[in-house]
Structure 1
Amino acid sequence: MADQTNPVISLGGLKLDQWEQGTLYKSADTSFGALLGLRGLGISYNEVPPGKSSCPFHNHHVEDELFVVLEGEGTYRFGEAHLPFKAGDVLGAPAGGKDTAHQIINTGPVPLKYLGVANNAATEVCEYPDSGKFQVTSRPAGAANRLRHCGREGQNHLDYWDGEPGA
């Protein structure tokens, strides 16, 4: 594994965090931009088993995201579209409203492996159209932890997975 001063890492050497939520969400993933010394760019490596997704359908108000598909195939929910993709494809998710909401679903027979890249905004708002939630995140400079609040208009703090299909 690389240390924070190493500008080269091996994807095969990354320690992945495995997790599962409900019937639809499961992934082995890790963020590694900091290992390369990057501060303003977030990079993750994700492995998603067949029939699963690594996150709910969502849109960002500030951050742009891009996904580079290394292995596998799936369906990219983008706005109202359901678009097929395969290894070698690059998926864009620009900041915006519900028309840029997105979700990667592994609809193929083998694990889906991809890189996720995003600009790390100090403050972000995400919306989750399937569940009607929003999430506000702040990453104060120099702070070890971030502030994260999930809610619905007119309701108090909610669990991140509240109301998500298959969660």
Structure 2
Amino acid sequence: MKPLMNLDEATFDDIEENGLYTSRRASLGRHIGARKLGYNLTVVPPGKVQCPFHNHHGEEEMFLILEGEGELRFGEARYPIRAHDIIACPPGGREMAHQIINTGPRELRYLAVSTLAQVDVCEYPDSDKLLVVAGESEGGLRKIFRSEVTVGYYEGEEGGE
């Protein structure tokens, strides 16, 4: 395995066509031997986004805009973005929620880099959902649910009240 790869060699292995959420992503990190960081090349068509507005409690993300233009939703703010902008999305509460929107007339291409946390909780403020992830994708835990669905600590436990 070579520790390098040119982006023109990337193979898009994650293609999403779900209305507004339309994109192509090419996993890169595993092809060059990355262990603690995830890397991918993301391409978003005009008027689309890659994923819902969200924030991570475990993982940190960084985006380098390669081509195109768009808008970054970050917390309650919105920022115009363009080629060569670098974006930091540290872990935290809803004030760190983020989303990249292609508002330009051509494809938006960016390099995404993230830490690979063994445990992460991701919030989706627009839909009030939570994603809980623990362990590797194969055999690990991955659950998405509405955050208003809560139960008492002892609910369902034998002898609990």
- TM-score (norm. length: structure 1): 0.85
Structure 1 unaligned segments of length 5 or more: list them: 157-167
Number of residue pairs the alignment of both structures matches: 149
Is 1:43 matched up with 2:53?
A: no
In 2, the alpha carbon distance for the partners of 1:65 and 1:115 equals 10
Paired position in structure 1 for 2:114: 118
Residue matched to 2:6: 10
Q: Where do 5+ consecutive residues of structure 2 fail to align? A: 151-161
**Pick from 62, 67, 71: which aligns with 1:71?**
67
Which residue identity lines up with residue 129 of structure 1 in the other structure? Answer: P
Contact 2:11-2:27 at 8 Å conserved across structures: no
Q: Match for residue 151 of structure 1?
A: 145
**Identity rate of aligned residues, in percent?**
48
Provide the TM-score with structure 2 as the length reference: 0.88
Deviations 1:96-130 (A, max 9, x none): 00000000000001100000001100010000000
Higher-Rg structure is 2
Q: Secondary structure at the match of 2:2?
A: coil
- Equivalent AA in structure 1 for residue 98 of structure 2: H
**Equivalent in the alignment of 1:21:** 18
> SS of 1:148's equivalent?
strand
Report how far residue 145 of structure 1 moved: 4.7
Give the aligned partner of residue 159 of structure 1: none
**Distance of 1:76 and 1:53 partners within structure 2:** 10
1:39 counterpart SS class:
coil
